Amino acid sequence: MKRYGLLLLLHRRTIFSFFYLLIQWTFLHAYSANLTLESRKTECTGSTDKQNSNFSANLNSLLSTLEAKSLSSLSTNQTSGDSPATVFGLYFCTGDLSKDNCQACIQTAIKDIIDTCPSSKQAIIWYDYCELRYSDVNFFGVPDTNGFSMINDKENTTSTRPVEVVSQLVREAPTTPLMFKSQALIS
């Protein structure tokens, strides 16, 4: 009898695991299907470049490498070519993005940055889910103080409630045995 009870328990766990994975897959599939890739801002700066130069060849190589890496990593930086035609580039995707969606965002960014900045030696493009940047000047490790503020124009974000909730969690977490505290923010 114990044997059948164990089999029934294993069967229930298998069914539960299957449905859990099915629900997760459905959620991720629905999330990826609703991904909207519209650029928020693009900046094309620096001197202009002739289309058939060493810089253009290095830029094409760099963008190809960044696109390939976007399937296996949510961020990277890369260089291509030798001085004086070296191109420095990077991309990053938000941490909640799947690698397939990261690659889709970077592919869109590459196409858009080429169309928008066809002869610029410095360019950056921002999306809700990713950012792509390249330059003829090494900018790795240099803070970008010329960014812009991204706001959610579809919701009222003037509420102080999120700040109050986080402040409360920061105060209470150290007093719990695991130093962890959570609270749902429901409006």
The predicted model scores a pTM of: 0.64
The answer to the question of residue 101 being in a domain is: yes
In angstroms, the CA 76 to CA 106 distance is 12
Choose between 144 and 179: higher pLDDT: 144
How many CB atoms sit inside 10 A of residue 111's CB? 13
DSSP-derived secondary structure for 50-116:
-TTSHHHHHHHHHHHHHHHHTTT-SEEEEEES-TTS-EEEEEEE-TTS-HHHHHHHHHHHHHHHHHH
Q: Do 52 and 13 fall into the same domain?
A: no
Q: Do 30 and 67 fall into the same domain?
A: no
Q: Do 79 and 106 fall into the same domain?
A: yes
The answer to the question of residue 80 being in a domain is: yes
Q: Which residues make beta-bridge pairs with 134?
A: 89, 123
What would the pLDDT profile of 64-78 be if each residue is shown by its tens digit?
A: 999 999 999 999 999
Q: Which residues make beta-bridge pairs with 124?
A: 43, 133
Q: Do 78 and 19 fall into the same domain?
A: no
So what's the pLDDT on residue 141?
84
| φ/ψ of residue 173, rounded to 5 | -60, -45
Q: Do 60 and 90 fall into the same domain?
A: yes
Choose between 184 and 48: higher pLDDT: 48
In the chain, how many domains are there?
2
So what's the pLDDT on residue 53?
87
* Residue 21 pLDDT grade (very low, low, confident, very high; cuts 50, 70, 90): very low
The answer to the question of residue 97 being in a domain is: yes
The answer to the question of residue 148 being in a domain is: no
Domain region containing 28 = 1-34
Q: Do 1 and 75 fall into the same domain?
A: no
Choose between 159 and 176: higher pLDDT: 176
pLDDT at residue 26 greater than cutoff 60 = no
**What residues contact 97, with CB distance under 8 A and at least 6 apart?**
74, 105, 129, 130
pLDDT at residue 10 greater than cutoff 50 = no
Q: Do 20 and 79 fall into the same domain?
A: no
Tokens of 44: 């094309």
What would the pLDDT profile of 91-147 be if each residue is shown by its tens digit?
A: 999 888 899 999 999 999 999 999 999 989 999 999 989 999 999 999 888 877 776
Q: Do 24 and 88 fall into the same domain?
A: no
Residue-averaged pLDDT of the chain: 78
So what's the pLDDT on residue 19?
43
In angstroms, the CA 70 to CA 185 distance is 33
Percent of the chain residues past pLDDT 90, beyond the cut: 42
Q: Which residues make beta-bridge pairs with 79?
A: 88
pLDDT at residue 51 greater than cutoff 60 = yes
Strand order in the sheet with 87-93: 41-48, 120-126, 130-135, 87-93, 75-80
